Amino acid sequence: MDITIGRGNKEPVTLKTPVMPAAGTFGYGDAFPKLFDMDKLGAVVTRPVGWHKFDPASGTRLVQRPGGVILHTGLPNPGLTKVIRDHQPLWDMLESPVILHLIGTSESDVEKACKQISLTTCIRAVELGLKDDIVWQDAAALVRVATKHLEKPLLVRLPFPANEDVARAVVDNGADALVAFAPPRGADRNPISGKIVPGRVYGPLLKPMVMHAVGNLTRRFPGVQVIASGGIHSVDDARDYILHAGAAAVQLDAAIWANPNLLNLVSRDLAGLILTRPKDALSDEWFPGIGETDAKKLGLPYNNNNRTRASKPENDAP
Amino acid sequence: MKETSGLIEKISLPNATHQHLEVSVDPTLITLKPGQFLMARIGETWEPYLRVPWIPVDARAGRLVIERPMSEAYQVGQTVSLIGECGQLVRFRKGVRNVLFIAYDTPPTPLLMPIRLLLRNNVSTTLVLLGDAAHYGTKHLPPEVEVIHGDMDINWPNQVMTVGWADQVFVCVNPDDEPYRFAKILERFTERRNEIPKNYLFGLFQAGMGCGFGVCDACAVRVGGEVHLSCMTGPAFDLSLVKLSVAPGAE
């Protein structure tokens, strides 16, 4: 299930699966290959990167809640130039396209960053992150600058809760796709220190809220691709976004920290790579030549040439 | 680093506050070095939401011994998903002879594996338990470890002598306010010595381990002008190089 992002005369980017990690959850694509099946990802979305360097937040950054987490990192990054210099060799080698998440700080920074990104070949698209409290006029100005100076597709990550004026400003000024949404902001008491910690909220309960908002977006902007992000904790969650909310693709966030394999599972599922196992199939019948193991154990006849069982007793246990 | 399964084979109670889980692990994890740890997840539920750092305190007969609080319930035969190995080994100076370990308001769990390694190499070790760490029972520790109990204000008997005698010092603190506590330790050592040389006083950073493989940025530490992640290049960082300028209780 390929999807292509890009409008106008920009070089479009094609994602071979509609699944990718959300910005800030996957490093720069340098996460360990044994934890993630990189070839099955539609794209690699980088950590948020600014034109200037960002330092990490000080104090407590992580508060766990039942069924979720609040995280405040300060988006540490060494600045765009250094990020590109350090990671270009890796990004050139990756099979999946790299989408750089650019922190939308100011028009001048976005302009400089987009000009520099346009000169690279390793970055295939940009995801522009907007401030949580942005007004539509500022969003329009940032997107206008980005589309003017960027030679690649532009995705814009919208803040949550959804603001239709901001979304319309982004679409009207040439964004190629919407990423809905950034994790909402929250604050909670750190149970260890007793202090209030602000940060972004992750967890399964976000899915119903985000799915409702994604559904509204896809109805209001039918010609625009929407990439849903928030609260995906199972294959079914991801399917719901695509089949019921009308999203073109999905991004997985904090769930992959606890369960890295979830990214592989969702990628394989939405790419149509998971085959349905016949109800009466032997457990190891999938692989050529080894189906006979179960067959022998159960005393069943087995034909190794065509790798199918000759017959199965009617009262055989499932 | 990869995701593997572990099997809890034995549970023992070394003291009143902690339990030791003997876990059969993938052969690649048996060679875990002092300072390195695993990120564990039990079951398929999202409670707790993130993985929990599991710090080995020993390795014996193909199993890792993991120290966990008594408040957590485990059963023999339970399987656990493990991501590892996380972090880097604690680096000791060449020819080190006397090493001081300090646990401040936290159990000395991260210090126990390094202590065992040093004892095997006939290095003299002293463990100072400060504040809440004094509640940690130490009868299960090898008798060669000298255990000293101190108070909440970072005082202990013969402090000047132990500080002067140590070739290296490793400190772990309660993760609720790590920069502040490390800053207090650094301040005390600055009072006791003319200068703090490089590669002398190390903090073992435990706070904010969200993922364990360097992508969530929750454990970022500023060291010598660079940003390091405790789960990747830590957990031990030279406290003389770490930026600890955090006001008490600041969030």
Tell whether A258 is within 8 A of chain B (Cβ): yes
pLDDT confidence of residue A297: 67
Write down the mean pLDDT value for chain B.
90
CA distance B234 to A72: 20
CA distance B15 to B19: 7
Of B3, B179, B210, the CB nearest to A261: B3
All structural domains of chain B with their residue ranges: 2-86, 98-238
pLDDT confidence of residue B251: 38
pLDDT confidence of residue A85: 95
Is there a contact between B216 and A24 if contact means CB atoms under 8 Å apart?
A: yes
Which is more confident, A289 or A148?
A148
> Which residue in chain A is spatially nearest to B178 when comparing CA positions?
A59
CA distance B74 to A12: 52
Residues of A in contact with B221 (CB under 8 A): 56
Which is more confident, A315 or A216?
A216
Is there a contact between B50 and A69 if contact means CB atoms under 8 Å apart?
A: yes
Integer angstrom CA distances of residue A214 from A124, A164, A176, A226, A228 = 25, 11, 16, 7, 7
Report all structural domains of chain A as residue ranges with CATH numbers, in order of start. Answer: 3-270 (3.20.20.70), 275-318 (no CATH)
pLDDT confidence of residue A284: 53
* Beta-carbon count within 10 A of B137 CB: 13
Amino acid (1-letter code) at residue A262? L
Burial pattern A104-119, b for ≥16 Cβ within 10 A else e, equals bbeeebbbbbbeebee
Q: What is the dihedral of CA B122, B128, B132, B134, to 10 degrees?
A: 80
Residue A196 has pLDDT above 80, yes or no: yes
CATH architecture of B98-238: 3-Layer(aba) Sandwich (3.40)
pLDDT confidence of residue B63: 92
Write the ipTM. Answer: 0.87
What pLDDT, in 10s, does the model give residues B131-180? 999 999 999 999 999 999 999 899 999 888 899 889 999 999 998 888 88
SS (H, E, C) chain A: CCEEECCCCCCCEEECCCEEECCCCCCCCCCCCCCCCHHHCCCEEEEEECCCCECCCCCCCEEEECCEEEECCCCCECCHHHHHHHHHHHHHHCCCCEEEEEECCCHHHHHHHHHHHHCCCCEEEEEEECCCCCCHHHHHHHHHHHHHHCCCCEEEEECCCCCHHHHHHHHHCCCCEEEECCCCEEEEECCCCCCEEEEEEECCCHHHHHHHHHHHHHHHCCCCEEEEECCCCCHHHHHHHHHCCCCCEEEECCHHHHCCHHHHHHHHHHCCCCCCCCCCCCCCCCCCCCCHHHHHHHCCCEECCCCEECCCCCCCCC
pLDDT confidence of residue B179: 87
What pLDDT, in 10s, does the model give residues A55-112? 888 776 889 888 899 999 889 999 999 999 999 999 999 989 999 999 999 999 999 9
Q: Which stretch of A35-39, B8-12, B151-155 has the lowest confidence by average pLDDT?
A: A35-39
What is the arithmetic mean of pLDDT over A178-201?
Answer: 89
pLDDT confidence of residue A165: 94
Percent of all residues in chain A with a pLDDT value above 70, rounded to a whole number: 85
What pLDDT, in 10s, does the model give residues A138-157? 999 999 999 999 999 999 99
Of B48, B83, B215, the CB nearest to A64: B48
Q: Which stretch of A185-194, B21-30, B68-77 has the lowest confidence by average pLDDT?
A: A185-194
| Contact yes or no for A267/A40 (Cβ under 8 A) | yes
Q: Look up the pTM and report it.
A: 0.86
Burial pattern A150-189, b for ≥16 Cβ within 10 A else e, equals bebbbbbbbbbebbeebbebbbebbbbbbbbbbbbebebe
Reported confidence tier of residue A184, pLDDT bands at 50, 70, 90: very high
**Tokens (6 digits) for B166:** 């140590």
Q: Would you identify the CATH topology of the domain B2-86? A: Elongation Factor Tu (Ef-tu); domain 3 (2.40.30)
- Residues 6 or more apart whose CB falls under 8 angstroms from that of A299 comprise none
Is there a contact between A61 and B46 if contact means CB atoms under 8 Å apart?
A: no
Reported confidence tier of residue A292, pLDDT bands at 50, 70, 90: low
pLDDT confidence of residue A274: 59
- Residues 6 or more apart whose CB falls under 8 angstroms from that of A52 comprise A79, A105, A109
Residues of A in contact with B213 (CB under 8 A): 31-32, 35, 260
Residue A301 has pLDDT above 90, yes or no: no
Half-sphere exposure (Cβ direction) of A306: Cα atoms closer than 13 Å = 4
Which is more confident, A124 or B1?
A124
What pLDDT, in 10s, does the model give residues B174-229? 988 888 899 999 999 998 888 888 899 999 999 888 899 999 988 998 898 888 99
Q: Phi and psi dihedrals of B157, rounded to 5?
A: -60, 145
| Contact yes or no for B177/B249 (Cβ under 8 A) | yes
CA distance B145 to B167: 16
Is there a contact between B216 and A257 if contact means CB atoms under 8 Å apart?
A: yes
**Tokens (6 digits) for A16:** 């071979």
pLDDT confidence of residue B195: 83
Of A61, A233, A260, the CB nearest to B46: A233
| Contact yes or no for A233/A257 (Cβ under 8 A) | no
Is there a contact between A76 and B217 if contact means CB atoms under 8 Å apart?
A: yes
Tell whether B246 is within 8 A of chain A (Cβ): yes
